[in-house]
Copies of this chain bind each other. A is one copy, B any other.
């Protein structure tokens, strides 16, 4: 199973973003499709797919971001000024979990871009207003002309492994019984491997040696994050939990992880849903890949 929010079928056509003539032609293409949103949430069809509108449905004042081309058709998302964190409605989470992977990936990209634009309406260097450019893949400062580009925050998410068990933790705000891999933002001046070792030590007091990268996925909520999943060799299993970060952390066996991933009764903890990379990480660890 591919990690969540990956697999977009859109060709990002980077070369067209800077080609004003080509971009204008795409904006005037009657076959263009515009992503349907309700605030920041995706509109979902009765079949559980994303809803696409036509160019005729969009007011002329709305700024459009070019998501890419698919089957020769330009796909856009309107730049709304709506702000917010992860979806509040369980129905939206259910829709994201059940829609085809390619739809979730397109929505994730669109959502990340909107959040980025709304967080960069002013230039961080000089405070002047910024203006959309590059077909929505940048903002340019109207004062100092600095160019700003939508990027992502790398996050490490990892299992420490010791004698056949892995370390899982939970935050106090989570539903009872839910556990996941530990995670944290990578900081300037660190490699992925160094960030993995630092986070495990900070949160659980465990020193680790070798770090093995497993896979990655984008995460479109609370900014635009690049989740990088790893397994780290723990040098011992004596936990010292940072209770500001974690309510609990414990070592679990392969059998416990398998049960957590299944619908079977009697599981010792609940694993995250399939579109979360921790789920993929658990699956890969159980399958030893």
Contact = CB atoms under 8 A, between A and B. Distances in A.
A226 B112 contact: no
19 contacts: A8-B194, A14-B202, A15-B202, A112-B189, A119-B125, A120-B125, A121-B125, A122-B123, A122-B124, A122-B127, A124-B148, A151-B153, A151-B154, A152-B187, A188-B220, A189-B220, A191-B215, A192-B226, A213-B213
Interface in A105-154: 105-106, 108-110, 112-113, 116, 118-129, 137, 148-154
A185 interface: yes
A242 interface: yes
A227 to B, nearest CB: 9
Contacts of A129: 127
Interface of A: 3, 5-6, 8, 12, 14-15, 105-106, 108-110, 112-113, 116, 118-129, 137, 148-154, 185-194, 198, 202, 213, 215-218, 220, 224, 226, 228, 242, 244
Nearest to A230: B213
Given A154-B154, A186-B226, A188-B224, A194 B127 contact: no
Contacts of A137: 187
B125 A188 contact: no
4 A-B pairs closest in CB distance: A109-B189, A122-B127, A112-B188, A188-B224
Copies assembled: 2
Most buried by B among A12, A122, A189, A218: A189
Contacts of A14: 202
B220 A193 contact: no
Nearest to A123: B122
Contacts of A154: 151-152, 154, 226
Given A185-B151, A188-B150, A188-B224, A242 B194 contact: no
Contacts of A109: 187-190
A191 B3 contact: yes
Contacts of A121: 124-127
A8 B189 contact: yes
B189 A5 contact: yes
Given A191-B216, A192-B216, 5 more contacts: A109-B189, A151-B154, A152-B187, A189-B220, A191-B218
